Amino acid sequence: MSRERVIDEVPSAVMAFFSFRSFRTRLLVFLLALLLPVLLGIYIFVNRENNQYTTDTIDSYLELGADVFDFTREEHKNTLLTITSTMTRDWGFRNAFGTGDPYTIIDAADNILLRSLGAADMMLISSMDGEVIIDTKTQGFEHLEGEWLALMEAAANSDNGIGDAIINVLGVPYQITVIPLFLPTPVAWIFGGFPLDNDFTDTVKQSIVSDVSIVEYRNGFGAEAGASINASEVEVIASTLQPADQLRLTEQLQLTGMTYTDTQRIVLADGEYGTLMRSLYGEPGAPLQIVAVIQKSYNENIENLEAFQRVLLQFYLAVLALSLIAVIFLARSVTRPILDLAIRVKHIEEGDYGQSVKVRGKDEISQLAGSVNNMALGLAEKEKVRDLLGKVVSHEIAEELLSKKIELGGEERIVTVLFADIKGFTTLCETSAPEEVLTILNRYLSEITKVIEDNHGVVDKYTGDSVMALFGAPLTRPNDAENAVRAGLAIAKCMVELNSINRAEGVALMEAGIGIHTGLVVAGNLGSQNRLNYTVIGDSVNLSARLEGLTRKYNTPNIVSETCRQHVPGFVYQELDIVQVAGKSEPVRIYQVIGAPEDVTAQQQETLSVFAQALAMYRAQKWAQATQLFESLQHALPASERAESLYSVYLERMSYLHKRDLPKDWDGVFVFDRK
């Protein structure tokens, strides 16, 4: 059959699918979906890292600039200290001071300031008690006051008699140093200082290649944290910035809620600047503060970053274009044979395994075509086996057998085993025709199987009217034991519905006995090489079967082991007894599952409490008290249920136990030597 004829026979919907969503288109879309996020992710990552690098670089420049600013100021302070110290040893100045004439002293001081070559700009001399003798700046006060007096007192209290501080002198912040004048005893204080003005900021800028400003602000900390200080409250005292940029600085500088380690971004005329502050005068919250502001432009780094981004974007576009061209050529070479394979796979999907596809050549696509044909044959055979196997064993076991290499042997697993059996089935067989019994049994097994599978269990086998179910094999779930308990309760409800049908048909009513135990089993394939059966074996399986048999002994709908109860603590249980079943040497504590806590009534809780008391009296060999409690429980039942109740079991047992000479440490274990 030609390819054109095959295509003509493909349904129109399939043709539409391959016409509008061709392999070529999907390959292109896939490439774009793969490349674009990767390229975008790389672009974003590189861009973010470059931005972070730019920020870190500017921050490092600012930190270095601030350190250089501090270093420059410290050097000027040292120079100033040297000059003032020189005055105390200068013979001419000492003679001038000895005259006591203020004009002579101020002339000597001006001479020393002139010789300092700009290292000192002002000088003030006061007596030891703070009376001003001379002041080269003529500030107008006769006695030291405020910060001047505080600086003098700080120097007097220091170990070396020297002090320094930044003091506002006629609206300009000055770095002031004070030392005593000895003749030979201290006779005066000499204050020397230099201004932190434009000359000083220009000097610092030459060293750090960053702009420097000295900013004064008053009452600036009254605003809320993070708010900009009003320009009227901020004044630039000295700066390397242009006047317009100084105004922008005062408008944008964040002075509240910031620390001196925080970098700010401020936009000036030629772009964005990183900004770092250094405290010069005043503590946070003081009426007056003076700070140094170091600024470094981002422009150079941003220009380099933008150039790199352009190159990176061009590279990405080139990679994308070349990839698209390569994919188009690749798609064209494989579109036709892939279309044939797609049509074949579509037929296989619809269950048509009979047709085959032919692709010329010996490349990978030809090999794929051969594999598809072989796969179709294998699927046809496997579908037959699956269909047949699914009718013999459960779906999960069928999948287990089909998905793995079938061989004898097994593995140890923790599995919850459930046995369900019809009570009174023998009577039903004796009173009903065989066809009717088979109909009732199949209806019962179908409903029980549905309940088990709805609770994620697997039916292992049917033995007459008995069902063996597994929870934890071949598939394991974290709540297998809980699923088994829920299945047991659901089976009891299901029996009520089945009995309503039996009652309507005039058939004998049935009750189910359910035994559940959680334990270690061996799960796997048993049998011979020619015939296998997936099942579980072990002592746990036998115990589950024994517990199901005990439901007839104790007249209860279900019995679970203590191990199962420990795996599923979220239900209400009634302890029944401690027993030693046939074939086991160790006793087992057994329980009845009453139901979920929300489904148990207050009356049921009261009954359970009384039964627990009665059981405790029984084990303590207090026969009279136990008998009284069990009889009270039995009398609470309808008359028709008293003879075959759980309480009648204990009343009958105590009728002969009290006559025996039991040991004082009797453990209450009841031994069943028959199945």
Q: What is the pLDDT of residues 485-501, one digit of tens each?
A: 999 999 999 999 988 88
Q: Hey, is 614 helix, strand or coil?
A: helix
Determine the residue type at 648: S
Do residues 513 and 548 touch, judged by C-beta distance below 8 A? yes
444: how many CB neighbours lie within 10 A of its CB? Answer: 22
Predicted pLDDT of residue 402: 59
* Spatial distance between the Cα atoms of 107 and 110, rounded to a whole number of angstroms: 5
Return d(Cα 590, Cα 88) in angstroms, integer: 106
Q: Are 126 and 144 in contact (CB under 8 A)?
A: yes
User: For the domain 90-192, what is the CATH code?
Assistant: 3.30.450.20
pLDDT exceeds cutoff 50 at 18: no
Per-chain mean pLDDT for the chain: 80
DSSP at 465:
T
CA-to-CA distance for 102 and 496, rounded, in angstroms?
Answer: 123
Judge whether residue 427 has pLDDT over 60: yes
pLDDT at residue 451, rounded to an integer: 94
What secondary structure does DSSP assign to 327-369, as a single string?
Answer: HHHHHHHHHHHHHHHHHHHHHHHTT--S------SSSHHHHHH
The token duo for 433 is 């025709």
Q: Lowest-pLDDT range, 54-58, 63-67, 181-185, 337-341? A: 337-341
Q: Is 80 exposed, middle or buried (0-12, 13-18, 19+ CB in 10 A)?
A: buried
Cα(331)–Cα(27) distance, integer angstroms: 7
Question: What is the reported pLDDT for 647?
Answer: 93
Tokens of 8: 């003509």
Helix axes 623-635, 602-619, angle to 10 degrees: 150
Rounded CA-CA distance 460/419 in Å is 10
CATH architecture of the domain formed by 406-595? 2-Layer Sandwich (3.30)
Distance in angstroms (rounded) separating the CA atoms of residues 639 and 5:
82
Residue 539's Cβ-count burial label (10 Å; 0-12, 13-18, 19+) is middle
Instruction: Write the pLDDT tens digit of every residue in 382-418.
Output: 666 555 545 545 565 566 555 655 445 578 899 999 9
CA distances from 632 to 608, 611, 636, 642 (A): 13, 10, 6, 11
Does position 508 have pLDDT exceeding 80, yes or no? no
pLDDT at 355: 66
- Looking at per-residue pLDDT, the higher value among 15 and 657 belongs to 657
Could you report the per-residue pLDDT of 82-121, keeping only the tens digit for each? 877 777 777 777 777 777 788 788 887 777 777 766 678 8
Higher pLDDT, 480 or 280: 480
> Cβ neighbours of residue 343 under 8 Å, at least 6 residues apart?
6, 7, 10, 14, 357
Give the pLDDT of residue 9: 45
Among 23-37, 204-218, 545-559, where is mean pLDDT lowest? 23-37
How wide is the angle at C-alpha 177 spanned by C-alphas 175 and 181, nearest 5°? Answer: 155
CA–CA gap between residue 406 and residue 392 (Å, rounded): 16
Given a cut of 50, whether residue 507 has pLDDT beyond it is yes
Q: Report the 10 Å Cβ neighbour count for 598.
A: 6
Print burial letters for 200-218: b (CB count within 10 Å at least 16), e (below 16): bbeebbeebebbbbbbbbe
pLDDT computed for residue 406 by the predictor? 45
Domain residues of the chain, as ranges? 90-192, 199-297, 406-595, 601-675
Alpha-carbon distance 143 to 131, whole Å?
Answer: 4
Cα→Cα distances 629→553, 589, 612, 614, 642, Å: 20, 21, 10, 5, 14
**What's 354's DSSP letter?**
S
Confidence of residue 675 (pLDDT cuts 50, 70, 90): low
575, pLDDT greater than 70: yes
pLDDT band at 582 (very low <50, low <70, confident <90, very high): confident
Choose between 280 and 541: higher pLDDT.
541
DSSP 508: P
Please check whether residue 175 is in contact with residue 164, taking contact to mean a CB–CB distance below 8 angstroms. Answer: yes
Residue 234: strand, helix, or coil: strand
- Higher per-residue confidence, 234 vs 115: 234
Q: Which of the pair, 341 or 310, is modelled with greater confidence?
A: 310
* pLDDT at site 16: 41
Confidence of residue 378 (pLDDT cuts 50, 70, 90): low
Averaged over 316-344, what is the pLDDT? 72
Tokens of 666: 């009797």
Which pLDDT does position 470 carry in this prediction?
94
Task: Please spell the DSSP secondary structure of 434-445, one letter per residue.
Answer: HHHHHHHHHHHH
Share of the chain above pLDDT 70, in %: 79
Query: To 10 degrees, what angle do helices 23-89 and 91-99 make?
Result: 60
The alpha-helical segments, DSSP class H, found in 391-433 are 395-403, 425-431
Q: Under 8 Å CB-to-CB from 497, ≥6 apart: which residues? A: 447
Question: Up-side HSE of residue 104: CA atoms within 13 Å toward CB?
Answer: 10
| Structural tokens at position 621 | 């060999």
User: 628-672: per-residue pLDDT in tens?
Assistant: 999 999 999 998 888 889 999 999 999 998 888 888 888 889 988
DSSP state of 131: B
Residue 670 CB neighbours (<10 A): 16
Mean pLDDT of 347-374: 67
